[in-house]
Amino acid sequence: MSPAPILTLENLCKTFATNDTPAVNTVSLQLQQGEILGLLGPSGCGKTTLLRLIAGFESPTAGTITLSTQTVSSPEQCLPPEQRNTGMVFQDYALFPHLSIADNIAFGLRHKSKGLSRKAIQQRVKETLELVGLSGLEKRYPHELSGGQQQRIALARALAPRPSLILLDEPLSNLDVQVRHRLRHEIRQIIKASGISAIFVTHDQEEALAISDRIAVMRQGHLEQFGTPEEIYTQPSSRFVAEFVTHANFLPAILSGDVWETEIGNFKITAVAQDETEQGELMVREEELELVPHDDASVIVRERQFLGREYRYCLQTNSGKYLHARTGVNTMVPVGSRVEVKVQSPSPQIFAA
């Protein structure tokens, strides 16, 4: 028999008294031991509210939260945060400025792991600093560390009491791009090495793909799709997910016999995201368009951007519609020239228009 999930949400809802629409709307999901869940969605879709419900800072309007086998939240009873085996890392680190790094990390141990001796706390602080790769900084104060180091200390503080679940609310959004890229790999390694399960909130799709074992895409309080990064990227369940997770073009398409006709070609598509439609939109990701220079072609290159690893093109079709394409730096097509557009998609998808 497989072990009980670390976290089970059942039909979880939260409507704030001042709002008409729910911030979290009938969310159900399960998280397995050691799994990293990426929670992805636009601003205001309910990501922070969902984390705060799980941590115990908010109580649900309906539904339940179960940690391992204990129901910790329901409209009838709601355990306070300190009685839940969870740790939270905030966007702005929230380190205590007047406490040394060692005392910042020990803070949670004194409050959450009561009964640990002073020696045991010192040992745990040392081990946790090693885990986040910052040994030797015990005596410093937060203002004596870089932003990236502070973020790793915030992670250490949440990990030190060895919670069963750690909740990270956009932990990297205050950092510059390079530190962000490095830290997202480090955070994944640290969490995996600790064996603790995690929910990682972000509104950056690339970050979610890189860090998560599974991704939950939220929209206006509800779960739009839940799956592995590969599933979410290659088989988005709706145009919303496709637009949010991939760089895609959407081309008007009409079903004729068994092919979908579009301005740039006809496609035979077996799997259609929404059934029984004869008019739709073909999704082609920007990296799936191949550009072949051809003087008689109807598509014109309007703009080209050099992005280092690739070119991004803006193209205009005969009907005036704009398309975007990304190619390797070896494909350099002049602005103003004409190109034939070929679609190299392993699984083209149609969404209802």
Ligand X SMILES: Nc1ncnc2c1ncn2[C@@H]1O[C@H](COP(=O)(O)OP(=O)(O)OP(=O)(O)O)[C@@H](O)[C@H]1O
Nearer to ligand X by C-beta: 17 or 271?
Answer: 17
Nearer to ligand X by C-beta: 52 or 285?
Answer: 52
| Residue 47 CB, nearest approach to Mg ion (Å) | 5
Among Mg ion, ligand X, none, the one that 117 touches (CB under a kind-dependent 5 to 8 A) is none
Which tokens is 279 given? 């008019």
Q: How would you label 1-30 residue by residue, b for 16+ Cβ within 10 Å and e otherwise? A: eeeebbbbbbebbbbeeeeeebbbbebebe
Angle at 187 between CA 33 and CA 55, to 5 degrees: 55
Find the helix or strand (DSSP H, E) in which 149 lies: helix 147-159
Rounded distance between C-alpha atoms, residue 8 and residue 65, angstroms: 6
Residues that bind ligand X (CB under 6 A): 16, 18-19, 23, 41, 43-49, 203
| Residue 318 CB, nearest approach to ligand X (Å) | 39
Among ligand X, Mg ion, none, the one that 45 touches (CB under a kind-dependent 5 to 8 A) is ligand X
| Residue 169 CB, nearest approach to ligand X (Å) | 7
| Residue 17 CB, nearest approach to ligand X (Å) | 8
Nearer to ligand X by C-beta: 58 or 287?
Answer: 58
Among ligand X, Mg ion, none, the one that 57 touches (CB under a kind-dependent 5 to 8 A) is none
Q: Does 48 bind Mg ion (CB under 5 A)?
A: yes
Nearer to ligand X by C-beta: 93 or 313?
Answer: 93
User: Where are the extended beta strands (E) located within 164-245?
Assistant: 165-169, 197-202, 214-219, 222-227
Write the CB contacts of 39 (distance below 8 Å, at least 6 apart in sequence): 47, 50, 51, 199, 200, 201, 202, 208, 215, 216, 218
Nearer to ligand X by C-beta: 53 or 299?
Answer: 53
DSSP string for residues in 238-289: SHHHHHHHS-EEEEEEEEETTEEEETTEEE--S-BSSSS-SEEEEEEEGGGE
Q: Helix, strand, or coil here: 313?
A: strand
| Residue 230 CB, nearest approach to ligand X (Å) | 24
Q: Does 327 bind Mg ion (CB under 5 A)?
A: no
Nearest residue to Mg ion, by Cβ distance, number only: 48
> What's phi and psi for 332, nearest 5 deg?
-120, 105
| Residue 93 CB, nearest approach to Mg ion (Å) | 15
Q: Does 49 bind Mg ion (CB under 5 A)?
A: no
CA quadruple 69, 75, 79, 85: dihedral positive or negative? positive
| Residue 224 CB, nearest approach to ligand X (Å) | 13
Q: Does 212 bind Mg ion (CB under 5 A)?
A: no
Nearer to Mg ion by C-beta: 12 or 291?
Answer: 12
The site for Mg ion (CB under 5 A) is made up of: 48
